[in-house]
Amino acid sequence: MNIATRKDNPVLPAQTQTQPSAPTRSDVERVSTFRRVITTVGVQNISLILAIAIVVAIIGIQNPLFFTVPNLKVIGTAIAIVGLLAVVQTIVIILGALDISVGSIAGLASVTSAMIFTSTTSAAMGVLGAVAIGVLCGLVNGCIIVFGRVNPVIATLATLAAFKGVAQLISDGRAQGYTGADPFFVFLARGTLLGIPTLILVLVLVAVLAHVVLRYTTIGRNIYAVGGNNIASRLGGININRYIIGVYMVTGAVAAIAGILITARTGSGQPISGSEGLELQAITAAALGGAALKGGKGAIAGTILAVILLGVLTNGMTLLGVNTFWQNVAQGTLLVVAVVIQQLRSGERRIGIPG
Amino acid sequence: MTQESIALRATGITKSYGPVKALRGVELELRSGEVTALMGENGAGKSTLLKILNGDFRPDEGELSIDGMPVDFGDPSDARAAGLRVIAQEPEIIAAVSVAENIFVGNLGSVGYNRTALLRRTRDELERWGFHRTIRAEALGSELSPAQRQIVEIMRAVVSRPRIICFDEPTSSLGDEEVTLLFALIRQLQAEGIAVGYVSHRMAEIFQLADRITVLRDGAFVGTKLVADTDHDELVRMMVGRDLSQFFHRDPAPLGETVLELRGVGNQFVDGVDLTVRAGEVVGIAGLVGAGRSELMKTIAGDYPTTSGEILVSGQARRIRQPSDSIRAGIGFAPEERKAEALLLQRSVRDNAALVVLRSLSRWIFVNNRAERALAQEYIDRLRIRTPSAEQLVGNLSGGNQQKVVLARWLATKPKILLLDEPTRGIDVGAKSEIYAIIDELAHQGVAVIVVSSELPEVLGVSDRIYVMAAGRISGELPRSEASEERILALAMDEDVAA
List pLDDT tens digits, range B71-92.
Answer: 999 888 899 999 999 998 888 8
Cα nearest neighbour of A346 on chain B: B346
Sign of CA dihedral B119, B123, B128, B129: positive
Q: Judge whether B182 and B170 are in contact, CB under 8 Å.
A: yes
Measured between beta carbons, the chain A residues lying within 8 angstroms of B324 are: 237-239
Same fold, B2-93+144-241 and B245-498: yes
Residue A3 has pLDDT above 60, yes or no: no
Measured between beta carbons, the chain A residues lying within 8 angstroms of B340 are: 229, 231
Measured between beta carbons, the chain A residues lying within 8 angstroms of B430 are: 1
Which residues are bridge partners to B63 per DSSP?
A: B11
What is the per-residue pLDDT for B377? 96
Cα nearest neighbour of B401 on chain A: A5
β B417-421/B473-479 pair status: unpaired
List pLDDT tens digits, range A94-153.
Answer: 999 999 999 999 999 999 999 999 999 999 999 999 999 999 999 999 999 999 999 999
> Identity (one letter) of the amino acid at B406?
V
Number of domains composing chain A: 1
Distance CA A332, CA B80 (A): 40
Is A106 inside any structural domain? yes
In this prediction, residue B497 has a pLDDT band, given cuts at 50, 70 and 90, of very low
Check if B119 contacts A (Cβ < 8 Å): no
Q: How far is A179 from chain B (nearest CA, A)?
A: 38
- Which CATH number is correct for B2-93+144-241, 3.40.920.10, 3.40.50.1820, 3.30.470.30, 3.40.50.300? 3.40.50.300
Inter-chain residue contact B333 with A228, CB threshold 8 Å: no
Cα nearest neighbour of A235 on chain B: B323
Q: Judge whether A271 and A168 are in contact, CB under 8 Å.
A: yes
Q: What would the mean pLDDT of B17-32 be, rounded to a whole number? A: 86
List pLDDT tens digits, range B63-72.
Answer: 999 999 999 9
Is A73 inside any structural domain? no
Cα nearest neighbour of A239 on chain B: B324
List pLDDT tens digits, range A47-89.
Answer: 899 999 999 999 989 888 888 888 888 888 889 999 999 999 9
Inter-chain residue contact A221 with B386, CB threshold 8 Å: no
CATH 3.40.605.10 fits B245-498, yes or no: no
Measured between beta carbons, the chain A residues lying within 8 angstroms of B367 are: 216-218, 221
Structure-model confidence comparison of residues B356 and B44, the more confident one: B356
In this prediction, residue A11 has a pLDDT band, given cuts at 50, 70 and 90, of very low
Alpha-carbon distances, residue B40 vs A142, B169, B208, B213, B469 (angstroms): 49, 12, 18, 10, 22
Inter-chain residue contact A296 with B347, CB threshold 8 Å: yes
Is A170 inside any structural domain? yes
Inter-chain residue contact B388 with A5, CB threshold 8 Å: yes
Q: Judge whether B387 and B380 are in contact, CB under 8 Å.
A: yes
Measured between beta carbons, the chain A residues lying within 8 angstroms of B401 are: 5
Measured distance between the N- and C-terminal CA atoms of chain B, rounded to whole angstroms: 42
Q: Which of residues 275-314 of B touch A (CB under 8 A)?
A: 301, 303
Check if B355 contacts A (Cβ < 8 Å): yes
Check if B408 contacts A (Cβ < 8 Å): no
Check if B403 contacts A (Cβ < 8 Å): no
What is the per-residue pLDDT for B494? 63
List pLDDT tens digits, range A289-306.
Answer: 999 989 999 999 999 999
Residue B1 has pLDDT above 80, yes or no: no
Q: What is the DSSP letter of A217?
A: B
Whole domain around residue A260: which residue ranges?
101-275
Domain boundaries, chain B: 2-93+144-241, 245-498
Distance CA B43, CA B287 (A): 16
Q: What would the mean pLDDT of A229-235 be, rounded to a whole number? A: 96
Return the C-alpha torsion angle A75, A80, A85, A89, nearest 10. 80
Residue B35 has pLDDT above 80, yes or no: yes
Q: How far is A220 from chain B (nearest CA, A)?
A: 9
The candidate with the shortest Cα–Cα distance to B400, out of B338, B475, B490, is: B338
State the count of interchain CB pairs (< 8 A) between A and B: 95
Distance CA B318, CA B308 (A): 13
Distance CA B372, CA B354 (A): 7
ipTM of the complex: 0.83
The candidate with the shortest Cα–Cα distance to A200, out of A304, A110, A290, is: A304
What is the per-residue pLDDT for A5? 37
Q: How far is A150 from chain B (nearest CA, A)?
A: 21
Q: What would the mean pLDDT of B115-125 be, rounded to a whole number? A: 91
